Structure 1
Amino acid sequence: MKTIEVKLGQFDFDDGGSYVGGCDGGKANGFGVCTGPMGQGEFSGLWQGGFEISGVFTWAKDNKYAGQWMQGKRHGLGVENKGHWLYMGEWTQGAMGRYGVRKSTKSSAKYEGTWTQGLQDGYGLETYADQGTYQGQWLKGARHGYGVR
């Protein structure tokens, strides 16, 4: 049977934030919880080499992101609850990217399609709160090119 050594640590940062959890070489590694200064958010999840890999980040007002990270930014698959919007899909370097679905939690408003740098871009279907729809091309968050309303 192989023995695995687990190192635990606690770091208190100058800005008032803190980290408690696995560490290796003075960096967060393994499971840990990092709390930002003055209630500015909390990340709970897996770390590698001091960076978030996968977990849940909770901001003030109960906004949340659960998913994958790379180099300190949301990257990969994830789900974000922010205000009355829910986004499920891919993230690229911290922004909604490639393909995803954003829908309102208060109405039937919804967009399903491609994204670039956090904006509808490429092709998608938007359903409005009044049940009207637009299906077609998008450019930098605006309807652009061919489409049907």
Structure 2
Amino acid sequence: MSESKMDINDASTEGGVEEKAPVTWEGELRDGWIPVGVGLATYPNGDTYQGNYENGKKNGHGTYTFMKGAVYKGQYSNDERTGHGLMKYPDKSNYSGAWFRGKRHGQGVYIYPNGDQYQGEWVNDLRHGHGTYYFTESMSSYIGTWESGHFMMGQWVWRDGNTYEGTFYKEQPIGRGRYKFRSTNNEYIGNFERTEVPKSLDSKAPVDVKLEFTDAFLRTVAIDE
């Protein structure tokens, strides 16, 4: 068995912090100095924003282009990314989904530079809640519950259809669980451990992974189970 390496907090944050006060504004001004309506703002560091302003703050739909290469297109509220939006990062990864106060928060899809993909819930820029991580290299998946970026409980599904279901600690199967063989309809039930831990979700280099069965027994699963 093999899969891509894993790093739990790997989603890019290279979008950076957005500037608030523009140096120049191409659009309507209220009271001679407050940007309102749709226009183009240029900031001290060279970042730009093209979109809607209300009361001198980014509100509604707009596009923010970072000098470092990231681009955000989506909704704003009170000068912060809030609502639905798409962020393209300099490392060629991208996130499309819900934002709240400038962070990935809610349902969204993150595509990593190597093609791996996570689809599910986010809280404060971290995978948190129910979600699925798909490994492009090995064509395997983690499906289940995530907490603060870590996969904690659910199924590890391989390309051949074999599955492991149970609890995880930092992406390691640990404690009580079951490993089911699709071809024979047999399964091991017991305590499982993983002898090698992937180090990065975002890597093309596969590693060999072995599951050790402790105090386990083998049984044949009825077809209707």
Structure-1-length-normalised TM-score: 0.86
Q: 2:66 aligns with which of 25, 33, 36?
A: 36
Q: 1:94 is matched by which residue type in structure 2?
A: D
Unmatched segments (≥5 aa) in structure 1: 1-5
Q: CA deviation at 1:60?
A: 2.2
Q: CA deviation at 1:38?
A: 3.1
**Secondary structure of residue in 1 paired with 2:68:** helix
1:95 alignment partner in structure 2: 126
Give per-residue Cα distances to partners, 1:2-22, cap 9 Å, x unaligned: xxxx71132222222111100
User: Percent same amino acid among aligned pairs?
Assistant: 31
Q: 1:49 aligns with which of 62, 65, 78?
A: 78
Q: 1:18 is matched by which residue type in structure 2?
A: T
How many residues are aligned here?
Answer: 142
2:135 alignment partner in structure 1: 104
* Structure 2: distance between partners of 1:131 and 1:78: 26
**What is the aligned-residue RMSD (CA, Å)?**
1.7
Q: CA deviation at 1:59?
A: 1.0
Give per-residue Cα distances to partners, 1:10-41, cap 9 Å, x unaligned: 222222211110011221111100011131x1
1:115 alignment partner in structure 2: 146
* Structure 1: distance between partners of 2:45 and 2:159: 43
Q: 2:45 is matched by which residue type in structure 1?
A: D
After TM superposition, the runs of 4+ consecutive aligned structure 1 residues lying more than 3 A away are 128-132
Aligned: 1:63 with 2:93: yes
- More strand per residue: 1 or 2? 1
Aligned: 1:15 with 2:15: no
